[in-house]
Amino acid sequence: MAKRGSGDVAHDLLGSAHIFASAVEEILEKRLLEESAGKQLTLSQFRLLTMVAQTDARTIGDVALFLGVSNAAASKAVDKLVRRKLLHRAEGQPDRREICLSLTEASRNLLATYAEKRESQLTHVFRDFSEDELRRTARLLDRLSAELVDHHSGPEEVCLQCGIYFRDHCVVRQLVKRNCFYLRNKSHPKLTHLVPGNGTSSEEPQGVES
């Protein structure tokens, strides 16, 4: 049997990582979102609501930067959620060019429902894994992500939206000096996120469709 090289192992790893990421998006994110909100909300719109819940976005430019879209696309996404009474937008004072986005009662209830369903799902999915296994896997994934970013031609331009994905630390900040959007704009109380395997919230310090 031919000996496999490190390149083959790396390809296997990337394949496994891609499959895992797809499973997270298709099963944990999309399916739970549909259970929580039906067909009324896309995954991109849900991420925008989550971003507002965890940061203090002051301008359309902030929203566009965080989501990686144009200002026009960010404005359109915000307008749609405002019309559907899932976001509240107020003009900044004294600079009226600024905006202040906040959740409505409907969107807060939706995020709470989603968080409850996610906690139940994660507790079930990871019940056969020890806390040590999950921590070691998380550290390995962070190291691999950091290596990928480090080899990017412009790592300071990369945003992995760490704050959206249950984390407070920014992988990119480990490599380059950058003013992380999530940390710079974070002013709201931290949302409770389940740590897979133990059923508790994480306090470890460690970011659009129209």
pLDDT, tens digit, 9 for 90 and up, residues 40-64:
898 889 988 988 887 776 678 878 8
Report the predicted TM-score, pTM, of the whole model to 2 decimal places: 0.70
Neighbouring CB atoms inside 10 A of 143's CB total 12
Which has the minimum average pLDDT: 10-24, 150-164, 170-184?
A: 170-184
Per-residue pLDDT tens digits for 125-145: 899 999 999 989 988 887 887
Answer whether residue 203 shows pLDDT above 50. Answer: no
pLDDT for the residue numbered 128: 94
- What is the residue whose two structure tokens read 């496994």? 16
Given a contact cutoff of 8 angstroms between Cβ atoms, the answer to whether 163 and 172 are in contact is no
pLDDT for the residue numbered 202: 35
Pick 131 or 202 by higher pLDDT.
Answer: 131
- The whole-number average pLDDT for the span 71-91 is 91
Three-state SS letters, the chain: CCCCCHHHHHHHHHHHHHHHHHHHHHHHHHHHHHHHHCCCCCHHHHHHHHHHHHCCCCCHHHHHHHHCCCHHHHHHHHHHHHHCCCEEEEECCCCCCCEEEEECHHHHHHHHHHHHHHHHHHHHHCCCCCHHHHHHHHHHHHHHHHHHHHCCCCHHHCCCCCCCCCCCCCCHHHCCCCCCHHHHHCCCCCCCCECCCCCCECCCCCCCCC
Answer whether residue 199 shows pLDDT above 80. Answer: no
CA atoms of 54 and 191, how far apart (whole Å): 7
Q: Which domains does the chain have, with CATH numbers?
A: 40-185 (1.10.10.10)
